[in-house]
Homo-oligomer: A and B are copies of this chain.
Amino acid sequence: MATTVTAPRRSLARILFGPPLSTADAPHQAISKRVALAVFASDALSSVAYATQEILIVLALAGAAVFGLSIPIALVIAGLLIIVTISYRQTIYAYPTGGGAYIVSRHNLGLNVAQVAGAALLTDYILTVAVSISNGVEQIASFAQELHPYKVQIALAVIWAITLINLRGVKESGRAFAIPTYFFITLMALTLGAGLIQLLTGTLGAVTPREFIEHQAQPLTVLLVLRAFASGCTALTGIEAISDGVPAFKEPRSRNAALTLTVLVAILTTTFLGITLLAHQVDAYAFEGMTETVMSQIGRTIFGEGALYVLLLMATAIILLMAANTSFADFPRVANFMAQDGFLPRQLTYRGRRLVFHWGIVVLAAMASLLVIMFDAETTRLIPLYAVGVFLSFTLSQSGMVRRWRAIGRLRPGEHAELHGFPVQHDPRWRLKMFISGFGATMTGIVMLIFAVAKFREGAWIVVILIPTLVFIFFRIHSHYKDVARILGQGTRWPNIRPRPVKTLVLVDDVHAGTIHTINFAKSLGVPWTAVHVAIDPDKAERVKQKWQERIGDEAYLTLLPSPYRNLADPVHRYIEDLLKEIPQGFIHVIVGHLVMDNLLEQALHQNAAIALNLALQDLDRATVTTVSYRLATRENGEGPQRVLSVSP
């Protein structure tokens, strides 16, 4: 009988999420460089889809005449990419067990600074989802213009589809991830190749605009160039993924991971520069609110509006989808680390039935959805929020490495030491490495400041406020958990387990079979008990009193509690408060019957007073509440299914 109630709920969960996985099922498998490139590349490569376009949209404020500036800006960004890559290769060698910004900060800068990195990372992952999905929808809507009015709805549907897939748990089979990444790389190669040939043969045309181009006439200021540069810096997002994922590589892990990072950045730099060059050559247009992406303009200019054009946009949309999906692995993992350290709610460390951190996944999806709704799924409006978090985590991670090299520099050859509780050992090349990490940290720090200042009014202020707020909340959570642990721990010094007086009180709504069952439990405890009815409806109270005296009067006395304000819990609360004063050390044991239905809809037709009372009385020390459930069950009795009370009193 018991399973009839829970079976539907469980099978719905089974359909949606699949059968539960045992803790022993957690998979571990090492992947080759080729697969690893595909797994870790999507986040980094996907930024090619919007980085160039966002540079142009800012420059467009000063008119299309200054679009040529996109080339030097892109070259500076490429230089930055190379600096950060060299710095991150060192992190990969130093952390063969995975060196994300939270771990590196925690090891080298301490638990408190790590919370800043944590706040930056969590913000960044949420924005990765919002930006990638919004831009993916924009790519698709570039060739299916009729989808434009539904951008927000489509983006939300996609986010929750990814959420569902991740709640089911994505197997670490890199092969499935490899297909879209190599599909995208292939189409990028085709586009850049075809574009280059057309350029060299003089057959590269110019974009025929599909929409009315909005001309602007702001003067070209340094701030505007910095804003364009800041927008383009989103090209760097995602390159830290490999340093996080070193343990997934085959041995020699660090070497393979570093090599993969180098290849990835080479591809990324080439594509980013190539797309920027082509955008300039085909006279791509750009302005905030345009309905066609720059990628789409390049595609149809080079390929015409045929299959290759559609494939290019599809590949772009899919790589963006994969990038968003990466966050669904990263956010819950970082949240789990932080929750284990006590800076986030403990629930984030629970692995669900499918071994995934389901709370983290749901929180990420909810936050990303909120952003998509707030910013109308417009990439250009989301970008100003994006890169502050990314560059803050870059800066902290590399600063952590500087601290590490300095500590190592103090060691003699062969000597070991501890830094924030983690071992470090001598390295003769620490000076060079410290310089590289320091240079990287300085560069990314400067970009972060440029970004925060240049994009402040456009939205970066939100993140500038948000990250310290998050850090503050993390510390509040941490001090809460410490307090609770300390207070609960104190009591264990007094092992005074001893019986106290107990007064038992049965709450009676009406006199029926369920009441008899509830009273049976009270009587089974073998102690004296009394009953109470809250007289919300005075007429009903009289009827209940009469039925009680006819049928149960011999067992116990029924007290009627007046309730002039028609409230159930308040009179009971006051009554128990008075009783508690009579037994200063004892317990008041309240017993409540609870009618349980087979389904939630029918359950909602009943008062469910037991649940309300449990909540209303929980603030009363020494008052305990027992729920005695009885169900309406469906039983087969030869004449077809019939509903009966599950307990026969």
Contacts and interface: CB of A to CB of B under 8 A. Distances in A.
Interface of A: 1-2, 4-6, 20-24, 345-347, 350-353, 477, 480-481, 483-484, 487-492, 494-502, 510-514, 516-517, 519-521, 523-527, 547, 551-552, 555, 564-567, 573, 577, 586-587, 589, 591, 594-596, 602, 604-607, 611, 614, 617-632, 643-649
A455 to B, nearest CB: 26
A513 B527 CA distance: 27
B487 A620 contact: no
27 contacts: A2-B621, A4-B619, A23-B564, A23-B565, A24-B564, A352-B566, A353-B565, A480-B602, A480-B605, A487-B513, A488-B645, A491-B513, A491-B645, A492-B512, A492-B516, A497-B520, A498-B520, A521-B589, A521-B624, A526-B526, A596-B619, A614-B627, A618-B627, A621-B631, A621-B646, A624-B627, A625-B626
A492 B513 contact: yes
- The list of the 8 closest CB pairs from A to B, nearest first, reads A491-B513, A5-B619, A488-B512, A626-B626, A22-B564, A618-B629, A20-B565, A499-B524
A627 B630 contact: no
B647 A622 contact: yes
Given A487-B643, A564-B24, A523 B499 contact: yes
Given A521-B624, A621-B631, A629-B623, A514 B488 contact: yes
B500 A524 contact: yes
B520 A500 contact: yes
Contacts of A501: 524
B346 A607 contact: yes
A621 B1 contact: yes
A555 B564 CA distance: 46
Contacts of A632: 483-484, 487
A57 B349 CA distance: 59
Name the residue among A488, A502, A517, A586 with the largest chain B CB count within 10 angstroms: A488
Contacts of A481: 605
A645 B490 contact: yes
Nearest to A547: B492
Given A497-B555, A621-B630, A629-B623, A566 B350 contact: yes
Contact of A497 (B352, B492, B495, B516): B516
A227 to B, nearest CB: 28
Contacts of A497: 516, 519-520, 523, 552, 555, 649
Interface secondary structure of A, over-half rule: mixed
The oligomer's copy count stands at 2
Nearest to A611: B614
Contacts of A23: 564-566
Nearest to A619: B5
Contacts of A520: 497-500
Contacts of A626: 589, 624-627
A512 B489 contact: yes
B2 A351 contact: no
A484 B481 CA distance: 46
B629 A627 contact: no
A369 to B, nearest CB: 17
Contacts of A492: 511-513, 516, 547, 551
A24 B566 CA distance: 11
B604 A345 contact: yes
A252 B526 CA distance: 64
Nearest to A594: B618
Given A483-B643, A484-B595, A645-B488, A2 B577 contact: yes
A537 to B, nearest CB: 9
A22 B565 contact: yes
Contacts of A477: 605
Nearest to A485: B512
Q: Which of A502, A524, A611, A644 has the most CB of B within 10 A?
A: A524
A590 to B, nearest CB: 9
A496 B649 contact: yes
Contacts of A624: 521, 591, 626-629
Nearest to A617: B629
B614 A596 contact: no
A531 to B, nearest CB: 12
Contacts of A607: 346-347
Nearest to A605: B345
A496 B510 CA distance: 17
Contacts of A622: 647
A176 B23 CA distance: 67
A346 to B, nearest CB: 7
Given A629-B624, A632-B483, A605 B346 contact: yes
Contacts of A487: 513, 632, 643-645
A566 B26 CA distance: 13
A109 B526 CA distance: 55
B494 A649 contact: yes
Contact of A647 (B22, B621, B644): B621
A486 to B, nearest CB: 9
Contacts of A644: 487
Contacts of A521: 500, 502, 587, 589, 624
Given A23-B565, A484-B632, A499-B523, 17 more contacts: A22-B564, A346-B606, A350-B566, A480-B602, A481-B605, A488-B513, A490-B513, A492-B547, A495-B516, A495-B552, A497-B555, A500-B524, A501-B524, A596-B618, A620-B629, A621-B631, A624-B626
